[in-house]
Amino acid sequence: MKKSTLFTSITFALITLLSFSVTAQDFSGLDKSPMDVAAYPSDYKDANKLVKITYSRPQLKGRTLEKLTPNGDVWRTGANEAAEITFYENMKMGDQTITAGTYTFYVIPGAEEWTAIINTDLNVWGSYFYNKANDVARLSVPAKEADESLEAFSIAFKKSDDGVDMHLGWDKTRVTVPFTK
């Protein structure tokens, strides 16, 4: 009887010890560039999306946009992993058709215009492994200056006459990428 009591006591002690280590997990702090999603339509209760982009939102934190997104360099359109854009219907960017599906969305910033890029690579960290050979579509769009500065990089969609416009904003820079049906 003593052996079974000792066995039960040891078993209970091990279970208790293991349960403490399971509940005592360390969680990392909040991501400095949290992930976000922008979609059209933006009503999250509407399941009939036309387009959705998943990206991370870096902050200026006293740094300049020119340092964070150098002109002429391919940028992942956010922080961390490259932004991924999903089209739920065939769309056009400029005169180039994009078949419904998920792609990586890159940009090349410039002083007067930015180049928007739809690329077939997925699950890519940053733009370090960007491969131009996998581009599906490219479009140069004007860059404009706004009065208001945005601390966090932001993306929003708005309906246009013949499709939807994707608005990119950071600091005082604003870029609109049109997608048509």
Cα R_g (the chain), whole angstroms: 23
Of the CA atoms within 13 Å of residue 180, those in its CB half-sphere come to 7
pLDDT of residue 3: 58
Q: What angle do CA 130, 134, 137 make, to 5 degrees?
A: 105
Q: What mean pLDDT is predicted for residues 7-11? A: 59
Q: What is the mean pLDDT of the chain?
A: 89
Residue 116 has pLDDT above 80, yes or no: yes
Q: Do the Cβ atoms of 93 and 73 come closer than 8 Å? A: no
The 10s digit of each residue's pLDDT in 119-177 is 999 999 999 989 999 999 999 999 999 999 999 999 999 999 999 999 999 999 999 99
pLDDT of residue 33: 86
pTM for this prediction: 0.82
Which tokens sit at 137? 């579509």
For residue 68, the tally of other CB atoms under 10 A from its CB is 17
Q: Distance between alpha carbon 19 and the CA centroid of its chain, in Å?
A: 36
Residue 166 makes CB contacts below 8 A (sequence gap 6+) with 38, 51, 53, 155, 156, 157, 176, 177, 178, 179
User: Helix, strand, or coil here: 136?
Assistant: strand
Q: Do the Cβ atoms of 162 and 179 come closer than 8 Å? A: no
